[in-house]
Chain A
Amino acid sequence: MPDFSLSAEQESLRDMARKFARTEMAPHAAECDRTARFPEEIYRKAYDLGLMNLNVPAEYGGSGLGVFDQCLIVEELAHACGGMTTSVIANCLALEPILLGGSPEQKERFLKPFCADYHFASFCLTEPSGGSDAGGLTTRARREGDHYILDGEKCFITNAPHASLYTVFATIDPSLRSKGITAFVVPRNAAGLSPGKDEEKMGHRASSTSTVRFDGVRVPVEDRLGEEGGGFSIAMRTLDQTRTPIGALATGIAQAALDHAAAYSLKRQSFGKPISQHQAIQIKLANMAQAVHAARLLTWHAAWTIDRGGKGTLESSIAKCFASDAALHVADEAIQTFGGYGYMKEYPVEKLLRDAKLTQIYEGANEIQRTVIARELLRPYA
Chain B
Amino acid sequence: MEIVVCIKPVPEAETRLRVAPGGQTLDAEGVKFVLAGYDESALEQALLLKESVPGSKVHVVSYGPPPRTEEVLRAAIALGADLATWVEAPAGTAGDPIVAARALAGAISSVPHDLVLCGKQAGDDEAGLVPPALGELLSIPDFGSVAELRWDPSLARFKFLRSTDAGGERWEAPTPCVIGLQQAWNDPRTAKLPNILKSRKAPIAKRPADPSNPGPRSVPTTFELPPPRTGARMIEYKTPEEAAQKLVRILREEAKVFP
Q: Identify the closest chain B residue to A53 (Cβ).
A: B193
With both chains docked as a complex, state the minimum distance between the C-beta of B47 and any C-beta of chain A, in angstroms: 15
B57 touches A (CB below 8 Å): no
A12 touches B (CB below 8 Å): yes
Complex interface residues of chain B between 50 and 75 (CB less than 8 A to chain A): 67, 71, 74-75
Number of A residues whose C-beta is below 8 Å from B?
19
CB-CB under 8 A from A50, the residues of chain B are 192-195
CB-CB under 8 A from A49, the residues of chain B are 190-193
CB-CB under 8 A from A73, the residues of chain B are 193
Asked if A20 contacts B190 (CB within 8 A), the reply is yes
CB-CB under 8 A from B46, the residues of chain A are none
For the A-B complex, the count of residue pairs with Cβ-Cβ distances under 8 Å equals: 45
Asked if A48 contacts B192 (CB within 8 A), the reply is yes
A16 touches B (CB below 8 Å): yes
Asked if B193 contacts A51 (CB within 8 A), the reply is yes
Asked if B67 contacts A9 (CB within 8 A), the reply is no
Complex interface residues of chain A between 1 and 50 (CB less than 8 A to chain B): 8-9, 12-13, 15-16, 19-20, 23, 48-50
Known: A8-B71, A9-B197, A13-B196. A19 touches B190 (CB 8 A): yes
CB-CB under 8 A from B193, the residues of chain A are 13, 16, 49-51, 54, 63, 65, 73
Q: Identify the closest chain B residue to A24 (Cβ).
A: B190
Q: Identify the closest chain A residue to B196 (Cβ).
A: A12
Interface hub of B67, B71, B74, B191 (most chain A Cβ within 10 A): B191
B200 touches A (CB below 8 Å): yes
A266 touches B (CB below 8 Å): no
Q: Identify the closest chain A residue to B195 (Cβ).
A: A50
B78 touches A (CB below 8 Å): yes
CB-CB under 8 A from A286, the residues of chain B are none
Q: Identify the closest chain B residue to A73 (Cβ).
A: B193
Asked if B67 contacts A12 (CB within 8 A), the reply is no
CB-CB under 8 A from A20, the residues of chain B are 190
Instruction: Provide the main secondary structure of the chain B interface.
Output: helix
What is the CA–CA distance of A12 and B198 in the complex, to the nearest angstrom? 12
CB-CB under 8 A from A8, the residues of chain B are 67, 71, 74, 200
With both chains docked as a complex, state the minimum distance between the C-beta of A114 and any C-beta of chain B, in angstroms: 16
Interface hub of A12, A23, A50, A63 (most chain B Cβ within 10 A): A12
Asked if B191 contacts A16 (CB within 8 A), the reply is yes
CB-CB under 8 A from A15, the residues of chain B are 34
Q: When each residue 72-105 of chain B gets 1 if its CB lies under 8 Å from chain A and 0 otherwise, what string results? A: 0011001000000000000000000000000000
What is the CA–CA distance of A73 and B196 in the complex, to the nearest angstrom? 13
CB-CB under 8 A from B74, the residues of chain A are 8, 12
A202 touches B (CB below 8 Å): no
A58 touches B (CB below 8 Å): yes
Q: Identify the closest chain B residue to A50 (Cβ).
A: B193
Asked if B196 contacts A58 (CB within 8 A), the reply is no
CB-CB under 8 A from B195, the residues of chain A are 50
CB-CB under 8 A from B67, the residues of chain A are 8
Known: A8-B71, A8-B200, A9-B200. A16 touches B190 (CB 8 A): yes
With both chains docked as a complex, state the minimum distance between the C-beta of A335 and any C-beta of chain B, in angstroms: 24
With both chains docked as a complex, state the minimum distance between the C-beta of A67 and any C-beta of chain B, in angstroms: 15
Q: When each residue 196-239 of chain B gets 1 if its CB lies under 8 Å from chain A and 0 otherwise, what string results? A: 11011000000000000000000000000000000000000000
A-B contact pairs, 21 of them (CB 8 A): A8-B67, A8-B74, A9-B196, A9-B200, A12-B191, A12-B196, A12-B199, A13-B193, A13-B197, A16-B190, A16-B191, A16-B193, A19-B190, A49-B190, A49-B193, A51-B193, A58-B197, A63-B193, A63-B194, A63-B197, A73-B193
| Top 5 closest pairs, chain A to chain B, by CB | A50-B193, A9-B200, A63-B193, A12-B196, A50-B192
Contacts A12-B75, A54-B193, A65-B193 aside, 12 further interface pairs with beta carbons under 8 A come to A8-B71, A8-B74, A12-B78, A13-B193, A13-B196, A13-B197, A16-B196, A19-B190, A50-B193, A51-B193, A58-B197, A63-B193
- B interface residues (Cβ-Cβ under 8 A, vs A): 34, 67, 71, 74-75, 78, 190-197, 199-200
